[in-house]
């Protein structure tokens, strides 16, 4: 339980000194280091040069990240022994044995920095380190809300930044509602903790702060959360410190238990399926899971499989941005031979590949001689399949069979954003049963994702007789005189449907309706739109129809224009497509424009790019047309 000290026991930190309870920390740290097999002289070394207390960078987030690494991985120190000076580590917290640590909650702890005298409501110290900051607002004051508590924390961050060097988590509450986040979390990403045990959700009438205290702030949960569920996601434009939401935390721990069982000598190598609805942080859940599996299974090889190159790139970028928690950098397999090379190690490694690399033939249908050979017979391989429910994981003659043949002793776990159909037995045969479910209804309630509102807008298709005959003749020409494979039948059907959907008359009507609808809505609520088309050809044709109505929306400059098309392609594509074919950096730059609510870019047409994991900063102001 947490021990709360009243105001009269508040401590005052000396000017410019770090806000740490040093006597308490030295006493408990000595016990922690001894309990974890260290020697007490290392405690003296830490306090002798205040190694873990330094803030060398003027950047607060960098200092916070450095301290987080010390906190979770230990502090490197030099220890003088009889045989000379040797390197060793001091562990500031005993994560494996929570009872060996001292938890202390102080009310109105005074901090003086740069002539600013501030007294945060509650600071939770672990071994004298101020790891959790709680800002409370009076529930009876109608002007005091969780948002005003959030703004108060931003003031503290500017006026007493030394407190935030050591901070792991921030909590805001108005006495009823309570949410947790990190020092870089925007207000929208402060999330409630809705369960005390990970099994039963708290009743809606329950005090959210009480649920958070008994759930997230339970010592064992808090230390686990700090050690395994905080990442510093590094992108080119910025670094974001992120913490798992409750559904991610409990799902990963359930999946870990199941994986350990499945990978044992007597296990069936099926670690189950995690269904977390799209937009609820599935990619980060996979990162957290991988970070824990690396430690729990003594550095196994992790193979992450997707079924599309763009998904492979996108998920790889997420893992690569969170390298610290994974303790290694992920690698992407270029082809099957490269995949074999990456797997030819005794242990370790995080390898990304598409499932197509496990097929026994190349894209041209030619058999691959070495495809029937196993890539690795090791047991310490964990395969993580993204969107594990898709039909290509057919256990009889699909990719799953070849995957099993290539990695016969690996354990398999699936992550999916959509539910598995009740008739789908292949997914269960490969991965097992559900480990955890977080559906869209709960995600919307938790505000992890936004609600979806559907407005039907029917675009009728009008063909003249000549067009109908041309379509029928084209289809007969494709299918004439041969038995079509399943794949060929699908391609033929798709080609006919694409021609119908992309009919010029229909696209003209859609463009007129879309422009009118968007401008009417924008007159009430300023926003942006994502238009999803069936094919690249339709993307280009629809763009042309729209700019025919609004020519001022067009610009060949990526940094200008109100509407853009995002699609891949190459030099052999039609000449009028070339202005829309961009490399990855150019597509990313347009994505940043779309996220910027002050940028003039309002509409983007896509086929399948950005349809998974594309975060928008202002979801309430973004529309999607299909």
pLDDT score of 428 more than 50: yes
Cα–Cα distance between 606 and 614 in angstroms, integer?
Answer: 12
pLDDT at 481: 46
Most confident by average pLDDT, 4-8, 302-306, 613-617, 620-624: 302-306
pLDDT tens digit sequence for 135-146: 998 877 777 889
Cα–Cα distance between 146 and 185 in angstroms, integer?
Answer: 14
Most confident by average pLDDT, 84-88, 124-128, 304-308, 481-485: 124-128
Cα–Cα distance between 278 and 612 in angstroms, integer?
Answer: 8
The three-state secondary structure class of 219 is: helix
pLDDT at 592: 86
Q: What would the mean pLDDT of 269-297 be, rounded to a whole number?
A: 92
Cβ neighbourhood burial of 243 (10 Å; 0-12, 13-18, 19+): buried
The three-state secondary structure class of 134 is: strand
pLDDT at 363: 52
Q: What would the mean pLDDT of 21-37 be, rounded to a whole number?
A: 47
State the residue for tokens 């977390």. Answer: 276
pLDDT score of 27 more than 60: no
Report the chain's C-alpha Rg in angstroms: 28
pLDDT score of 575 more than 50: yes
Cα–Cα distance between 505 and 567 in angstroms, integer?
Answer: 23
Sign of CA dihedral 396, 397, 403, 406: positive
pLDDT score of 385 more than 70: yes
Q: What would the mean pLDDT of 4-30 be, rounded to a whole number?
A: 45
- Give the helix/strand (H/E) hosting 508: helix 504-524
pLDDT tens digit sequence for 489-506: 555 666 777 777 888 888
Ordered domains of the chain (ranges, CATH):
4-234 (no CATH), 244-445 (3.40.50.300), 504-625 (3.40.50.300)
Of 209 and 85, the structure prediction assigns the larger pLDDT to: 209
pLDDT score of 416 more than 90: no
- Paired with 116 in beta bridges are 113
Q: What would the mean pLDDT of 552-565 be, rounded to a whole number?
A: 94
pLDDT tens digit sequence for 434-464: 999 998 888 888 887 777 777 777 777 666 6
pLDDT at 364: 52
Sign of CA dihedral 374, 379, 381, 386: positive
pLDDT score of 617 more than 60: no
Of 81 and 557, the structure prediction assigns the larger pLDDT to: 557
Of 149 and 91, the structure prediction assigns the larger pLDDT to: 149
Cα–Cα distance between 604 and 619 in angstroms, integer?
Answer: 15
pLDDT at 47: 43
pLDDT score of 33 more than 60: no
Residues 402 and 262: beta-carbon distance below 8 Å: no
Helix 60-73 to helix 219-228 angle (10° resolution) is 120
The answer for residues whose C-beta is within 8 angstroms of residue 568's C-beta and 6 or more apart is 310, 581, 609
Q: What would the mean pLDDT of 505-520 be, rounded to a whole number?
A: 91
Cβ neighbourhood burial of 340 (10 Å; 0-12, 13-18, 19+): middle
Cα–Cα distance between 460 and 541 in angstroms, integer?
Answer: 17
Query: What single-letter DSSP state applies at residue 581?
Result: B
The three-state secondary structure class of 15 is: coil
pLDDT at 149: 94
Cα–Cα distance between 128 and 103 in angstroms, integer?
Answer: 8
pLDDT score of 85 more than 70: yes
- For 432-464, give the DSSP string: -SEEEEE-HHHHHHTTSS---------------
Q: What count of other Cβ atoms lies within 10 Å of the Cβ of residue 185?
A: 20
pLDDT score of 297 more than 50: yes
Residues 585 and 623: beta-carbon distance below 8 Å: no
pLDDT score of 563 more than 90: yes
pLDDT score of 478 more than 50: no
pLDDT at 626: 46
Of 426 and 594, the structure prediction assigns the larger pLDDT to: 594
pLDDT band with cut points at 50, 70 and 90 for residue 237: confident
Q: What would the mean pLDDT of 367-380 be, rounded to a whole number?
A: 72
Cα–Cα distance between 343 and 349 in angstroms, integer?
Answer: 8
Cα–Cα distance between 545 and 510 in angstroms, integer?
Answer: 9
pLDDT score of 41 more than 80: no
pLDDT score of 183 more than 90: yes
Of 310 and 244, the structure prediction assigns the larger pLDDT to: 244
Q: What count of other Cβ atoms lies within 10 Å of the Cβ of residue 554?
A: 17
Q: What would the mean pLDDT of 245-263 be, rounded to a whole number?
A: 96
pLDDT tens digit sequence for 458-476: 777 666 656 555 555 554 5
Cα–Cα distance between 268 and 38 in angstroms, integer?
Answer: 39
Q: What would the mean pLDDT of 71-77 be, rounded to a whole number?
A: 87
pLDDT score of 579 more than 60: yes
pLDDT score of 211 more than 60: yes
Within 13 Å, how many C-alpha atoms sit on residue 183's CB side?
27
pLDDT score of 102 more than 60: yes
Tokens of 574: 């039609």
Q: What would the mean pLDDT of 396-407 be, rounded to a whole number?
A: 71
Cα–Cα distance between 331 and 112 in angstroms, integer?
Answer: 47
pLDDT at 45: 43
pLDDT band with cut points at 50, 70 and 90 for residue 77: confident
pLDDT at 464: 62
């Amino acid at each position: 339980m947490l021990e709360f000290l009243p105001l009269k026991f508040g401590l005052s930190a000396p000017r410019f000194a770090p806000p740490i309870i040093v006597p308490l920390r030295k006493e408990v740290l000595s016990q922690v280091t001894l309990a974890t097999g260290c020697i007490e002289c290392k405690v003296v070394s830490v306090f002798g040069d205040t190694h873990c207390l330094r803030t060398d960078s003027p950047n607060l987030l960098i200092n916070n990240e450095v301290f987080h690494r010390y906190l979770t991985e230990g502090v490197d120190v030099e220890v003088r022994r009889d045989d000379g000076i040797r390197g060793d580590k001091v562990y500031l917290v005993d994560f494996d044995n929570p009872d060996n640590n001292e938890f202390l909650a102080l009310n109105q702890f005074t901090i003086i920095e740069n002539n600013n005298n501030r007294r945060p409501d509650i600071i939770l110290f672990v071994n004298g380190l101020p790891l959790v900051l709680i800002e409370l607002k009076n529930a009876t004051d109608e002007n005091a809300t969780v948002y005003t508590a959030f703004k108060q924390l931003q003031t503290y961050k500017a006026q007493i930044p030394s407190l935030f060097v050591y901070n792991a988590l921030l909590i805001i509450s108005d006495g009823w509602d309570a949410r947790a986040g990190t020092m870089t979390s925007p207000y929208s990403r402060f999330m409630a903790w809705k369960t005390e045990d990970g099994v039963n959700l708290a009743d809606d009438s329950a005090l959210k702060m009480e649920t958070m205290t008994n759930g997230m702030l339970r010592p064992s949960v808090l230390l686990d959360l700090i050690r395994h569920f905080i990442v510093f996601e590094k992108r080119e434009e910025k670094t974001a410190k992120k913490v798992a939401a409750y559904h991610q935390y409990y799902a990963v721990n359930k999946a870990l238990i199941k994986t350990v069982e499945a990978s044992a000598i007597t296990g069936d190598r099926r670690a189950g399926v995690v269904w977390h609805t799209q937009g609820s942080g599935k990619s980060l859940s996979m990162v957290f899971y991988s970070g824990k599996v690396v430690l729990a299974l003594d550095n196994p090889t992790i193979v992450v499989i997707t079924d599309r190159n763009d998904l492979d790139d996108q998920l790889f970028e997420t893992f690569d941005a969170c390298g610290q928690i994974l303790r290694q950098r992920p690698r992407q397999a270029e082809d099957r031979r490269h995949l074999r090379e990456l797997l030819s190690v005794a242990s370790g490694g995080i390898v990304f590949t598409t499932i197509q690399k496990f097929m026994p033939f190349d894209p041209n249908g030619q058999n691959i001689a070495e495809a029937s050979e196993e890539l690795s017979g090791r047991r310490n391989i964990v395969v993580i399949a993204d969107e594990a429910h898709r039909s290509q994981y057919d256990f009889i003659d699909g990719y799953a069979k070849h995957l099993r043949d290539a990695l016969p002793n690996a354990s398999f776990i699936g992550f999916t954003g959509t539910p598995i159909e009740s008739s789908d037995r292949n997914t269960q045969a490969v991965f097992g049963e559900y480990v955890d479910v977080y559906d869209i209804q709960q995600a919307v309630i938790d505000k992890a994702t936004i609600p979806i509102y559907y407005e039907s807008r029917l675009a009728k298709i009008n063909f003249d007789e000549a067009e109908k005959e041309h379509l029928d003749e084209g289809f007969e020409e494709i299918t004439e005189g041969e038995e079509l494979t399943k794949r060929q039948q699908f391609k033929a059907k798709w080609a006919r449907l694409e021609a119908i959907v992309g009919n010029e008359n229909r696209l003209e009507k859609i463009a007129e309706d879309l422009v009118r609808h968007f401008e009417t809505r924008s007159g009430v609520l300023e926003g942006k739109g994502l238009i999803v088309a069936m094919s690249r050809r339709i993307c280009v044709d629809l763009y042309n129809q729209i700019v025919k109505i609004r020519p001022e929306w067009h610009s060949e400059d990526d940094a200008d224009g109100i509407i853009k098309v995002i699609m891949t392609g190459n030099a052999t594509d039609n000449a009028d497509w070339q202005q829309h074919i961009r490399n990855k950096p150019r597509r990313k730059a347009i994505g940043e424009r779309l996220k910027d609510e002050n940028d003039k870019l309002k509409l983007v047409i896509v086929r399948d790019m950005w349809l998974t994991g594309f975060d928008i900063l202002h979801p309430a102001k973004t529309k999607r047309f299909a």
